[in-house]
């Protein structure tokens, strides 16, 4: 089982990036997929989650209206489209295989069975 993130980089405030997460070794029937981030000196936080099993998505208040999570089942890919980026979005972004979205919503990250290694997003002001 493996999750591989890509797409991070340096962008100016107000710009956009699309992160990709390639899922290997399991399908969207097995897990929900979440995007998380961790800024220097801060705890990891969940920003978006998608459940193909239940047909729902969830966003944290900090990114709602700016970020969009989606998936491409045939390619086993999950994406995070990030628009109107702000300097406070600067962080390492991770995707994770979540047992059920409920764990993501209540921020119980013991419900994440597998993590990717992360991709760095830097937003300059």
Which residue's entry shows tokens 């979540």?
98
Confidence of residue 125 (pLDDT cuts 50, 70, 90): confident
Q: How many CB atoms within 10 Å of residue 78?
A: 27
pLDDT computed for residue 51 by the predictor: 97
Instruction: Please provide the average confidence, as pLDDT, over all residues in the chain.
Output: 97
> In this structure, are residues 123 and 86 in contact, taking their beta carbons and an 8 Å threshold?
yes
Tokens in use for 48?
């978006």
Task: Read off the pLDDT of residues 30-79 as tens digits, 9 standing for 90 and up.
Answer: 999 999 999 999 999 999 999 999 999 999 999 999 999 999 999 999 99
Between the alpha carbon of residue 57 and those of residues 12, 21, 65, the distances in Å are: 27, 16, 13
Confidence of residue 24 (pLDDT cuts 50, 70, 90): very high
């Amino acid at each position: 089982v493996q999750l591989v993130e890509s797409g991070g980089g340096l962008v100016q405030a107000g710009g956009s990036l699309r992160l990709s997460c390639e899922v290997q070794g399991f399908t969207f029937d097995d897990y929900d997929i979440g995007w998380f981030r961790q800024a220097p000196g801060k705890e990891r936080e969940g920003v978006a989650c998608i459940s193909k099993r239940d047909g729902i998505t969830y966003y944290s208040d900090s990114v709602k209206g700016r970020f969009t999570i989606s998936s491409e089942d045939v390619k086993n890919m999950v994406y995070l489209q990030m628009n109107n980026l702000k300097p406070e979005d600067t962080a390492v972004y991770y995707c994770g295989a979540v047992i059920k979205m409920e764990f993501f919503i209540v921020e119980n990250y013991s419900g994440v069975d597998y993590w990717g290694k992360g991709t760095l997003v830097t937003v300059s002001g």
